[in-house]
Structure 1
Amino acid sequence: MIGQAVHKPPRAEGTLGRSRPARPRRARLRKPCWPERIPRAIGAALLAATVIACSPGGDPPASTGPDRGALEHLVAAVDVERAATTSSHERPGSLRFRRQVRLFSQEEGRITSLDVFEGDMVREGEVLVALDDDLLQAELDKARATLAQAELDVRRLEDLVSKRAASDAELSQARTAVAVARGDVRLLETRLAFTRIRAPFDGVVTERLVEPGDFVSKNTHLLTVADPQSLVAEVYASELILPRIRVGDPAQLRIDALGAVAFPARILRIHPSLEETSRQGIVELTLEDPPEGVKAGQFVRVTLETASVERLLIPFRALRRDRDGEFVWLITDQGQASRRKVRSGLQSTDRIEILEGLAPGDRIITRGFLGLSEGKTVKVVPE
C-alpha cells in the first residue's frame, strides 16, 4: 500500500553478507587558540630577561643590526690645491717638404734632353732639361752682327764729326742704334739661357711630367725638385694648446711606417691663423735627425709638451655631470655634503683642471656618491 513503511529483514550472517565492524574514530588534535599561546610567549620573554640579568656586568650585548651607523655616510675626500703641471697632447699629421720647387718652361720648343727621373738626386746648377735652341741661336747671331755694324758706324761718324764732315745729330742717332742692338743681344742671350732648365738647389726629383721629344709651350710644368733636408711634420693643434707652446719647444714624433720608435723633434713654425670651422692652427715641426726610410706624405703622431702652468686640479672621478652641468660634492665645516657647480678645463691623465667654482683648500668628495644628498652628514675614511 502507498504510504506504508516497508520493513526489510536483516541480512543473514554469512561469509558474503556479514557486515564489517565499525572502526573507532581517531581523536583529532586541536591546536591551541591564541589565549593558550600567551603563557608560552611570556615564558620565553622571562627566560631571555633572566639570561640578560645573569650575564657579567649586567649590560645588554651591543647591537649588530642594520640600524648601526645609519647616520654615517662613508666617503673618500681630497683637498683642492694648485700645482705646476705640464700636459702632453698627441696630434696626428703628415710629413711634407718645406722646400719644393716646380720647374716650368719659359720658352717653347722640343725637349732634346731629359735624363733625370723620380728619386734621382741632383746638384745645384745641374742642367735637367734642354730645349731645342737652333732658332734662338740664329737670332742671336744676327743680333750680334747688327751690334757690330752699329758700333762700326759710330766710330766712322765720330771721325767725320772731328773733321766737321758729319753732324752731331747723326752721331747721336748712331749711338742709339748701338744701344738698341746691345739690348737685342742681351734679350736673345737670356731667352737662349731659358732653354736650359737647371736645378735650383741640391735636392731630389719628385715629379717628371714630360719626356724627351715632347714639344712644350711656355709655362709648362716639367719637373718638381724638393730639398730632403727640409722635411717637416705638419699637425693641427687646438686653440687651447697654441698659447702654451713656443717655437723651439721640444717634441716627440712617431712615424707609423717606421714602428713605435719616437724621434726627437722641435717646433719650427706656428701659423698665425686658425681654421674657422675647427678652431685649429697648423704647427710645423722639424726632425733633428731624420731616420732612414722617412718620406714625405707619411703619417706621423706628434706629442706636444705644453709649458708649466699653475692649475687648480682635482681627480677626474670627483667631477660629476648631469643635465644641469658639471658639479662636485664639497664637505662643509659641519661635515655635511654640499653640491657645488664648477667649470672644467684641460684634462691631464687622471686629473682635470677646474676653472670656476672651487678654491684652494676646499675639500671635495672622490668616492661614495651612492645615496649622497645635499646636507647629508658624511664621514671621511681612507680610500
Structure 2
Amino acid sequence: MKQKLLWPALLLTVLSLTGCERDRPTATAQIKPHLVEVVRAEVKDISVTRERNGSLRAIQEIQIFNQEEGQVSELPFFEGDRVEKGQIIARLDDRLLRSQLTRAQALTRKSATDLAQIKDLVARKLTTQNELTRIETELAVAEAEQEALQTRLSYFVIRSPISGVVTHRNTEPGNIAERYSHLMTIADQQTLITEVQLSELLLNNLQVGDEVSIQIDALRAGKSEHQTLPGRISRIYPDINPLTRTGTLEIALTPVPPGARAGQFVRVTLTSQQAERLLVPFIALRRSVEEEYVFTVGANNQVQMTPVTTGLEIGDQIEILDGLEGGELVVIRGFTNLRDNKEVKIVNAPSATEPLPLTDIENTP
C-alpha cells in the first residue's frame, strides 16, 4: 500500500523540477562582430615602368617602280648591296623613244627655220599674219613634244632616291617591265625603329626624346647576360584607338648595333616621369554591373560603399583617379556578407601595413 502512494508523489516531484527548469531565463546570444582587414589609401610620387614588344623596321624604305614600259637592260645591284643617293640602279631599253625624240628635234628645227622665213615675208607684206601664227604654233607644238620625250627618256634611267641597302630585287635584266612594275626595294638602315602600343593614361607622362631601353632577343641568344640597348621616343602619334584606349609610340634605335636587322623581335622598356598617384591594393576593388567601388571604414567603424574611377594597374595595386582623396581606410579582406553601413571590427593595424611599391614592370604579349 505504501509503494502505491510513493509512485504518484515521485512523479509530481519530477514534473515540478521540469517546470522550474523551463521557467529559468535563457542567456542572451552574443552577436559576433564582422571582422575586416584594411589598408590606408596613400598618395605616392612614383614612376611607372612598362615593357612592350615590337618588331624592328627601317626608318625609311623605298619601293622602286618604273614609270615607262621597256626591257630591263641593267640591274647591277643585288640584295645586301649598298647604294648611294643618285646612283643609277636600273636602266630600261630606250631606243624606240630616242628615235621619236630625234624626229621631234628635226621637226623643231624645221619649224624654227620656217618661222624665220615667214617673219621676213610678213615684214615685206608678202604673206598674211595668219600664216605667221600657224608657223609659230607648229614650232611651239614641236618644242613641247621634244620636251615631253626628253622627260620620258629620263624615266628609263632610274636613280636611287636615298642612300641605303637593297632589300628586295624583283626582276632580272632581259625581262620586260610593264609600267609601274616593282623592280626593287631600298631601305635606309642607319636607324631602325619600332612601334609599340601604350595606354592613354601613360602617354601624357612621356615626351619625344625620352630615353628607353631596348632588348633584341636575336642578339642575346646564347649569352648569359641580357644586352640592353639605348633608344629614344622619336614620335608620339596624335590619335588614340577608341576601342583599346591605346596610343602608338615610335621608338628609334640609334646607333644600330652590329647584327640588328629589320624584322627582328624587340622588347622595349619605358619608364614614365614621376607623378603623384593614389594607390590601393587591387584586391580592394569591387565591381558591379554599373560601377566599380571599394569599402571604406569611417570613424564609427561603419563601412561605406564608395564608387571609384580606376586608372593604371601597377603590380598588385590599382590607381584611383576619382572617389578617394587619400588617407581613407580601405577594406582588403572580409567581404563575405559585407554591405553598406554595416558595423565592422578592424583586426589589423593600418599603420603596420606594407608600403606600396614605387615602380612596376608589366610584361604583356
> Which interval holds the TM-score relative to the shorter structure?
0.7 to 0.9
Q: Which residue of 1 aligns with 2:114?
A: 153
Aligned residue identity for 2:139: V
1:377 aligns with 2:345: yes
Give how far 1:172 is off: 2.4
C-alpha spacing 1:323/1:279, structure 2 compared with 1 (3 Å): closer
Q: Which residue of 2 aligns with 1:138?
A: 99
Deviations 1:134-187 (A, max 9, x none): 111111111111111111111122222233333332222222211111111111
> Contact 1:342 / 1:355 at 8 angstroms: preserved in 2?
no
Deviations 1:224-278 (A, max 9, x none): 1112135211112233333433333332222221223222222222223344543
Q: Which residue of 1 aligns with 2:18?
A: none
Q: Which residue of 1 aligns with 2:303?
A: 338
Q: Which residue of 1 aligns with 2:130?
A: 169
SS of equivalent residue, structure 1 residue 191:
helix
Cα distance between partner residues in 2 of 1:352 and 1:279: 17
Matched-pair identity in %: 36
Q: What TM-score comes out, normalization by structure 1 length?
A: 0.71
Deviations 1:43-89 (A, max 9, x none): xxxxxxxxxxxxxxxxxxxxxxxxxxx989796x5533322222112
Spell out the pairing of 1:158-307 with structure 2 (5 A cutoff).
Answer: 158-259=119-220, 260-307=226-273
SS of equivalent residue, structure 2 residue 165:
strand
Unaligned runs of 5+ in 1: 1-69
C-alpha spacing 1:182/1:166, structure 2 compared with 1 (3 Å): same
C-alpha spacing 1:241/1:378, structure 2 compared with 1 (3 Å): closer
Cα distance between partner residues in 2 of 1:177 and 1:251: 66
Unaligned runs of 5+ in 2: 1-31, 221-225, 354-365
> Contact 2:234 / 2:252 at 8 angstroms: preserved in 1?
yes
Of the candidates 235, 259, 277, which is equivalent to residue 311 of structure 1? 277
Question: 346-355 or 102-111: which moved more?
Answer: 346-355
Deviations 1:200-240 (A, max 9, x none): 11111111111110011111111111121352111122333
Higher RCO (CA < 8 A, seq sep 6+) = 2
SS of equivalent residue, structure 2 residue 67:
coil
SS of equivalent residue, structure 2 residue 126:
coil
Deviations 1:12-53 (A, max 9, x none): xxxxxxxxxxxxxxxxxxxxxxxxxxxxxxxxxxxxxxxxxx
SS of equivalent residue, structure 1 residue 227:
strand
1:89 aligns with 2:57: no
SS of equivalent residue, structure 2 residue 161:
coil
Paired residue total? 310
Q: What TM-score comes out, normalization by structure 2 length?
A: 0.74
C-alpha spacing 1:271/1:161, structure 2 compared with 1 (3 Å): same
> Contact 1:311 / 1:353 at 8 angstroms: preserved in 2?
yes
C-alpha spacing 1:163/1:281, structure 2 compared with 1 (3 Å): same
Q: Which residue of 2 aligns with 1:355?
A: 321
Aligned residue identity for 1:172: T
Cα distance between partner residues in 2 of 1:91 and 1:213: 47
Kindly report the root-mean-square deviation, in angstroms, between the aligned alpha carbons of the 2 structures.
Answer: 2.9
Question: 280-289 or 238-247: which moved more?
Answer: 238-247
Cα distance between partner residues in 2 of 1:74 and 1:161: 113
C-alpha spacing 1:72/1:91, structure 2 compared with 1 (3 Å): closer
Cα distance between partner residues in 1 of 2:93 and 2:336: 90
SS of equivalent residue, structure 1 residue 225:
strand
